[in-house]
Chain A
Amino acid sequence: MSALVVDNIRKSFGEVETLKGIDISLESGEFLVLLGASGCGKSTLLNIIAGLAEPTGGDIRLNDRSLIGVHPKDRDIAMVFQSYALYPNLSVRRNIGFGLEMRKVPVAEREKAVAEAARLLQIEPLLDRRPSQLSGGQRQRVAIGRALVRNPKLFLFDEPLSNLDAKLRMEMRTELKRLHQMMKTTVVYVTHDQIEAMTLATRIAVMRNGQIEQLGTPEEIYNRPATLYVATFVGAPPMNILDVVATNNGLLVAGSDTVIPVPPSLLAGLPTGGSLKLGIRPESFRAEAGGLPLTLRCDVTELTGPELILSGSVGSQRLVATLPPRTRAPVGSDVTLSLDVEALHIFDGETGKRIN
């Protein structure tokens, strides 16, 4: 039985169709990350699941119960907002316990739940403060605490970490992962940060223009992106995209005489002569020989410490490769790197769909 089913959800604001038929099915305990650029409809979808907005069409089911028309308070869902959305004039203690207070949970039980959440989030000393007396990270913890105490069937997070500085964001990310592993509650988490998505998710739904571009495990999203969009959205530095043409000898890099000698089995599936996009992640280049060779001209090198970032070019097309720090790559020279066949992502030049 699926814990959460999003069934062909549509949402229009006037003429504009913001969600164009979203389908998701989650097992209990999954951590789904909705990943997409700003404005693609992530918050809209989350608000529909929470009951804060009505869909134009489609159905939402939580544990086989349709939520359409059900008031947000009766959905057994807790939500954490990007702006934290704490109640400014209530103490941290009452902020966390507010949901229980509104549900008329007895005081003793409420206090116990608040104390437990505060302990888990390490905010016990802050319980009698007002939100205005807290730092951003502390407010975020309170907001998470407010969701935790409810012990809901489903947690919704809308970009909860995006207002925090980089260091705090990493800490909270780990903390969220720890909490999820402990509580095992189903989570839908919205972010535009692909690192957050990769590290937290059991599955990622990459959204674009109100549609799901690909839904899969982080490994699938990273190793076998279904579209050019997914390929370039996930990964840093982003995946290299080269214009190539399939020939009898292999893939000819457009605007050069470089041919990547891919095996015939791969070539067989490709339309000859048509324009293709070849995706190669910077981190899949190797300095030592052994795979498919690709020679590029070294334009700039940057040593970050753990790795060497090589910016080069094949003909007029630019490429980035991340290599071990000791790789010999003199600027201005030609460097031959090697690739595994699995590292080649081939997309249709027109539709952007994966071919191999």
Chain B
Amino acid sequence: MPTALGVREMSGVSIRNVTKNYGGGTPNAVADLNLEIPETEFLCLLGPSGCGKSTTLRMIAGLENLSSGEILIGDVTVDSVEKGVFVRPEDRNMGLVFQNYALWPHMTVEQNIEFGLKIKKVPQAEREKRIDEVSRTLGIEKYRKRYPSEVSGGQQQRVALARMIAVSPRIILLDEPLSNLDAKLRLEMRAELKRIHNELGSTFIFVTHDQWEAMTLATTIAVMNEGRLQQVGKPEDIYERPANRFVAEFVGTLPINIIEMSSGHGNALKTWMSAYLSFLPIDASEIASVGLRPRTLVIEPAGADGTRNGMPRCAATILDIVPTGGSWIVELDVGGDRLLGLSGNIDGLAAGNEVTFTVDRKHVHLFDSGSSRVNVV
């Protein structure tokens, strides 16, 4: 490994049985995490705030020690509690962009970018070239002589990225990098990140609590909750085949409609769903709850026949229709229970109308009493 620039080693990340406890009687921040992140992947760790995403990222970077388990980079063990191995963060050759950017306030933009190159003993001429390159790539040439406090938040973000990619790290870690930006900048940076990923071909691990960021950026999403991994998969898998109720409820712009099958006796909604389930090749007694995404609800004026594509319909009353620019949120009432629908077309529908609705069988999400997904074979 002559200079760190250019030469690339194996750079997948393996997280094995990793648990992290901060002590003081707190619950595990990360519990028994197993995750294989292949080389050049753009993995997104998604989950609500406090679920252990940053902790995971910081453990990969070596900034936080493990309570048990091991972490490998390529085939090199960098952390192993059981084998007594620890590689210092200085020696891990990674890039990390902090949520608050953590630029060095006493150095100019240029010096911020140069620092890592100096540490890696890159010769002066090559350093200059590299700084030119990355500041051009990220469009910050104009601010090279300024201090971080003299540039805007969006530009600070770019400086943080430039500082990180200047040393071409094999693994790039990003902790909620878009969360401090306004909507427009966020779109811009999203594109920028995607481009950088394509150009560098490094492994990206990206932390966010924003499912939109995760869905639009990641090649793979890992959903976490309360320190535990819930599901790993492609964005569309996560959305269309949530592994459990938590994932189903966390992912999706509008909250998913949940119908509890085990409680609430004999109401209209449950009656309809029981009838519906009886058409499916499953053991209906196993099903504890059913999830229906608003956009999959097919809502039609009352009076159509009792079934659609062989599946029963349910009668409902429209409570309200809320325009959301191009589509409409339709609030339904079924014998006192409320459901949300999302429809691109509301011809013939109005608040107060009696309607019927149903869903395609491929769009019902079934969960057992342990909240795990039950697949319809």
Tell me, yes or no, whether A binds B.
no
Could you list which residues of chain B lie within 8 angstroms of chain A, going by C-beta atoms? none
Could you list which residues of chain A lie within 8 angstroms of chain B, going by C-beta atoms? none
